[in-house]
Amino acid sequence: MRRFAPLLLAAGSLQIARPLAAQAPPPPPKIAQLGTCTFASGATVRDCRIAYRTFGRLNATRTNGVLIPTWLLGRSEDWIGLLGAEALVDTTRFYAILVDAFGNGRSSSPSNSNPADRSAFRDLTIGDMVEAQHRLVVDHLKLPRLHAVMGISMGGFQSFEWSVRYPEFMDLVIPIVGSPRVGAFDHAVWTSVISELRNSRAHGISDDSTWTQLMRIMTLVGSTPRAINDSSAAVVDRDVVGGAKWMGKNWALEDFEAQLGAVLRQDVSSRFGGDLSRAAAQVRAPMLIVYSWDDHMVTAESAVEFAKYVKADTLSVATKCGHGLPGCEARTTFPVVRRFLERGLSTSR
């Protein structure tokens, strides 16, 4: 199996970056020490830290920053192939801030935290990720505001959360195949993944076998029947096994479980009595919401409903790739995102 960014595994053959095997390993990310992080559950993580990378230059007013949180099973280095003058985010104009989300093994996670703090991640939320990112931008990078927040998949979840939680802090918000809250179908999918993970542990099944079964489930929902049938059973099995081996070498199951829990708990309306329209009423920044009705991993209903409430620009793309829309349909998606990012940008340097 070719070694693409891990989003290949999480999104059903989504190939949006160049093969990393052909590139020199990037330098390690920077680390921002946040001290103690208090999660929404009330649990705390001491020695809390956020890993991040920056590309491009700040303009004279320090307002051209584009914050990009990572996707599920993603890390900041996976975004590098999407940056550049001809890529998704033009780093000759924007200051890209790639932020590793809690639970990805770079920022604070069960696998790299003190034993006494690991239980805090049992109730991790997308909001906890966003709060730490806001501290990074304000306290460590000293930025007065952001030009945009954008993300793919779980990064899109975080983008929606930013739009409601810090509505005046950015000029634009761009969630791509994300959702403001988890739909019933998505809940059934991710509950099944977590149940498989926990049952495997309870019965002493090896991590390799556990990852193989998890990859099978994610392949089914990450793509579409048409895309899978255009391949062959032998190729699908090969990719599942290869992906599972790579995950087993590079990810801890407890980290994946923490991020899955955060995805399952995501609902921007939870602080508004479950009323999505009240949550959407907080939004001030123009939004571009990208989705597909063919996406079986993050279904589109909640994103479409939210888009109507905020009168967002939308891009709906039919694709056999399902959740793999951003990569498979890059010729359609990338130009629209690039044009939207240009809105209101100061040319001062």
Classify burial at 323, counting beta carbons within 10 Å of its beta carbon; exposed 0-12, middle 13-18, buried 19 or more. buried
Sequential DSSP letters for 50-113: EEEEEES---TTS--EEEEEPPTT--GGGGGGGBSTTSSB-TTT-EEEEEPPTTSSSSS-GGGS
Asked if the model's pLDDT at residue 18 lies above 50, the reply is no
Query: What is the pLDDT averaged over residues 168-190?
Result: 97
Please state at what angle helix 184-202 crosses helix 207-222, rounded to 10 degrees: 170
pLDDT in tens, 282-298: 999 999 999 999 999 99
Give yes or no for residue 1 having a pLDDT over 60.
no
Q: Say what the alpha-carbon torsion angle 292, 293, 299, 301 is, to the nearest 10 degrees.
A: 110
Residue 3 has pLDDT above 60, yes or no: no
How is the chain split into domains, by residue range? Answer: 7-341
Sheet holding 288-291, edge to edge: 30-38, 44-55, 95-99, 65-69, 146-152, 170-176, 288-291, 313-316
pLDDT tens-digit profile of 295-329?
Answer: 999 999 999 999 999 999 999 999 999 999 999 99
Query: Residue 116 and residue 129: Cα distance in Å, rounded?
Result: 20
The residue among 150 and 349 whose pLDDT is bigger is 150
Considering only CA atoms, which of 86, 85, 16, 28 is closest in space to residue 53?
A: 28
Sign, Cα dihedral of 220, 257, 177, 108: negative
At residue 344, the pLDDT reads 78
Q: How high is the pLDDT of residue 96?
A: 98
- Burial letters 127-150, b for 16+ CB under 10 A, else e: bbbbbbbbbbbeeebebeebbbbb
User: pLDDT (tens digit, 9 = 90+) per residue, 43-72?
Assistant: 999 999 999 999 999 999 999 999 999 999
* CATH architecture of the domain covering 7-341: 3-Layer(aba) Sandwich (3.40)
